[in-house]
Amino acid sequence: MNQTRRGETYIMKPYDLIIKIPFPGYPQTIVEKESRKVHFSDLTEEEYLKANPDMRVVTIEEYDKLHHDHHVTSFREITEEIWDDALNCLPPLKWHTIQEKGQQLNVFFCSEPYSGAIHGFYLFDRRTKKYYSCQIDVRTKDRDIVTKYLDHIKPA
């Protein structure tokens, strides 16, 4: 993978990530796949893990799932004031009305990500006149948002 920084192109070598257990939501460092050297260190992966028994190596794919699961939250009811603040603080992303499964939901994402593709998400249920928020992936499809919302509001 090629990267550009300050006008210079350099090659980013394939890598795995080193994370702390329990997972705090971000990687500790990276390790090159070929050399197994830990970045910003003279240690090998084996030496680093021996010195840090609460760490483990994960692939990018494993990290993406851990990151997603760590940062995505359930819906919580919020006030109209919080909704308005979020709507007017930064330009909203994907501000629209979802009309699926009998719902009429005004929704938008905060344009600044919380972490990676996880953004603050805001929902106004036009039927109940209630406001909600959560953190979800900005790529979440409308039908999946409605399902998540309906699961949240269904009686226990």
- For 73-119, how does the pLDDT look when each residue is reduced to its tens digit (9 = 90+)? 999 999 999 999 999 999 999 999 999 888 899 999 999 999 889 99
Report pLDDT digits (tens) over 27-57. 999 999 999 999 988 999 999 999 999 999 9
Per-residue pLDDT at 2 exceeds 70? no
For range 12-40, the mean pLDDT? 91
Q: What is the pTM of this model?
A: 0.77
- C-alpha–C-alpha distance, residues 74 and 154, integer Å: 13
Q: How many domains does the chain have?
A: 2
147 with 79, same domain: the answer is yes
pLDDT for the residue 72: 94
77 with 65, same domain: the answer is no
11 with 44, same domain: the answer is yes
54 with 78, same domain: the answer is no
48 with 85, same domain: the answer is no
Contact 56, 18 (CB under 8 A): yes
Enclosing domain of residue 9: 2-70
39 with 95, same domain: the answer is no
E-assigned strand segments in the chain: 2-5, 8-11, 15-20, 29-32, 55-58, 76-78, 93-98, 105-115, 118-125, 130-137
134 with 77, same domain: the answer is yes
As a whole number, the mean pLDDT across the chain is 91
- 47, 70, 93 - which closes a domain: 70
pLDDT for the residue 11: 61
78 with 134, same domain: the answer is yes
- 70, 101, 130 - which closes a domain: 70
